[in-house]
Amino acid sequence: MNKRMLPGLVLVLLIVLSGCNPFTTNLYSGIDNFKNPDLTNADDLLDAADEPQFYENLKNDPAAKAQVLETLQSVLDDPDASDEKKQEAALMMTDVHLKTTNTEDTMSNLNSLVGDAVSGEDVFEGSGDGPETFFRAIFGEPPAAISFADYKAAVTIQLNGFLAAAEPLQHYGETLEVTGTSPPGTNDGDNATKALMAGMTRTLVYYIDASTEAARVDILASYLATPKNPDGSIPYTITYREGEGGIPDFNGPSDMLVDPADPTNPDKDGLVEVVAFGGLDLDSLF
């Protein structure tokens, strides 16, 4: 064998055995790494709305997340922005709140419960009479392998995410009432369940008997993180405000979608519109 051919044969053998191409590995390394857009440019942000890595990047960067929300809010406040652009901004704000607070599993549980309800199953049968039992069914029982403190902290983050998502979703619903259409490619059913969860969270937290929203969220998170007794009871009780301005009698989740601070104002029923637009008939489900 010609000795000058040996280095070339060795190189070919190494390539075959390693299953990779050394000439392209270094050349294209990092090409799939997502780079955040200009966080002060709304158009650039909206172009990144479907990039999962974008939301992952925001999870550990509160300053960047705040800047994104500020930029998108400027679209909602801009009288010259088109209705479609405002809708896209509102939906992206919703995703920023939800995708940076680890709500995916909870939303998956809710979607499963809604699917079961569509099939005729009473998904809340035997779960009790209080409105918080909706949440117990949605969040599920606390995992035995996770401590009370850790699970409560995780639930608190999610609850705050759902609370924050209510405002942009309400704005989105108000634009739906005007336009009658959603942006191209929008998953209306997905937005409906997001609005359902955000609305129920906002209403339930509002009526818990505590002086601040943070304290009310803490109470609900404690309830959701408390394991059941052997007999199935939950050794934690939530007390709601009573009397004038107190918690009303809810017939189902649909009653929990209006703004609890102004429940009779027709301009504050945006979440109702989002749920209806997504084809989610709550009164027939629950």
Q: What's the rounded mean pLDDT across residues 23-30?
A: 34
Residues 251-266 have pLDDT tens digits of 767 788 989 988 888 7
Residues 33-88 have pLDDT tens digits of 778 899 999 999 999 999 999 999 999 899 999 999 999 999 999 999 999 999 99
Q: What is the pTM of this model?
A: 0.85
CB 195 within 8 A of CB 173: yes
CA dihedral 178, 181, 187, 191 (to 10 degrees): 10
pLDDT for the residue 98: 98
Q: Is the per-residue pLDDT at 212 higher than 90? A: yes
